[in-house]
Amino acid sequence: MKLARYAANGVIRIGRIDSTETRIAPIAGVEDMLDAIARADDLRSAATDDANACPLADVTLLAPIPAPRRNIFCVGKNYRDHAREFSNSGYEAGAVKGAEIDSHPAVFTKPANTLVGPNDVVQLHSHITSSVDYEAELALIIGKEGRDIKREQAYEHIFGYTIVNDVTARDRQRNHKQWFLGKALDTFCPMGPWIATADELDPENLDVKCWVNGELRQNANTRDLIFDIPSLVATISAGLTLKPGDIIATGTPAGVGLGFNPPKFLRAGDKVSISISHLGTLTNTFQ
Ligand code: MG
């Protein structure tokens, strides 16, 4: 099931996208995505308001969870080739400098002010940074609360998946010797265009692609994650209660702007598109 938050005729709704990805119908009685997550068990049989169904092309898709109750959890350096390009770039933050592949996942967060949706403008913040970069990532959405979740039970806690762009100001990441400030700026977390529920896909075999102005920059598969999804859920939930609606971004593959020599950072007017199998395409313009 593909679920989207969208605007049509001035009304914001949660709807179900059909299997051909051409029509969307609002789900009766579901106000927002957290409602949908709470009703996960009966969502498939929930009635759609077919009188208000319309072509997907006629609606404005919005960030599926526009105001998460907590920071977005993110994982750094989780694809080998990206870990290598990061190590060689000179932009690596002090706390994780050194080995190309770490023995434990690097986890940081992005605050809720970073969230924007498909086709929203991402601000370049040129008064404080000149090295804004893109990071295409698979994100998972927690469906069932849990703490100290074991690897074997991890998938039982996942509601679904979506795309995020973990936008990063590399100079702030480097200069402040941590990852938060460079990743926390307003609009720095585009998300969408929809959530596919966990039964829709195999998260360990999804193609992840990213284009800048039509040029393919990132092209990988989630099977190459260093720390797989069960490991990430187990690590982050150790002593920390994960709650429905929490978002975990799983890391970006090689091909980000800092990996080029010289680096290819984003400029005003650049368009970044990210596609992941079953999850559609997330496009944003940078200004
Ligand atoms: Mg990232």
Give the angle subtended at the CA of 136 by the CAs of 127 and 227, to the nearest 5°. 120
Q: Report how far residue 256's alpha carbon sits from residue 222's, in angstroms, rounded to the nearest whole number.
A: 16
Residue 38 CA to ligand 1 centre (angstroms):
28
For residue 178, what pLDDT is reported? 86
Nearest to 136 by CA among 184, 189, 91, 183: 189
Largest CA distance in the chain: 58
CA of 238 to the centre of ligand 1 (A): 21
CA 34 / ligand 1 centre spacing (Å): 24
| CA 75–ligand 1 middle distance (angstroms) | 6
Residue-level pLDDT at 71: 98
Q: From ligand 1's centre to the CA of 200, what distance in Å?
A: 24
Q: What span, in angstroms and rounded, lies between the C-alpha atoms of 218 and 272? A: 11
How far does the centroid of ligand 1 lie from the alpha carbon of residue 167, in Å? 8
Q: How far is the CA of 134 from the centre of ligand 1 (A)?
A: 8
Exposed / middle / buried, residue 282 (Cβ in 10 Å: 0-12, 13-18, 19+) = buried
Cα 181 to averaged position of ligand 1 atoms, centre (Å): 13
Q: What pTM did the predictor assign? A: 0.95
**Protein residues placing their CB within 5 Å of the ion ligand 1:** 135, 166, 252
Q: Looking at residue 129, what is its pLDDT?
A: 97
pLDDT score recorded for residue 46:
86
Which residues, other chains included, contact 260 with Cβ-Cβ below 8 Å and sequence gap of 6+? none
How many angstroms separate the alpha carbon of residue 198 from the centre of ligand 1? 22
What are the φ/ψ torsions at residue 124 (nearest 5 degrees)?
Answer: -85, -15
Name which of 177, 203, 213 is nearest 285 in CA terms.
213
32 Cα–ligand 1 center, Å: 26
pLDDT value of residue 100: 62
From CA 192, how far away is CA 205, in angstroms rounded? 19
Domains of the chain by start residue, with CATH: 2-62 (2.30.30), 72-286 (3.90.850.10)
Q: What's the 199 CA to ligand 1 centre distance in angstroms?
A: 25
Q: How far is the CA of 146 from the centre of ligand 1 (A)?
A: 24
Report the chain (287 residues): mean pLDDT per 10 consecutive residues: 96 95 94 94 86 94 97 93 81 59 89 98 98 98 98 98 98 90 97 97 98 98 96 98 98 95 97 98 98
Instruction: Measure 51 CA to ligand 1 centroid, in angstroms.
Output: 41
What pLDDT was estimated at residue 49? 86
Residue 43 is predicted with a pLDDT of 87
CA dist list (Å): 38 to 50, 103, 128: 22, 35, 40
CA of 100 to the centre of ligand 1 (A): 15
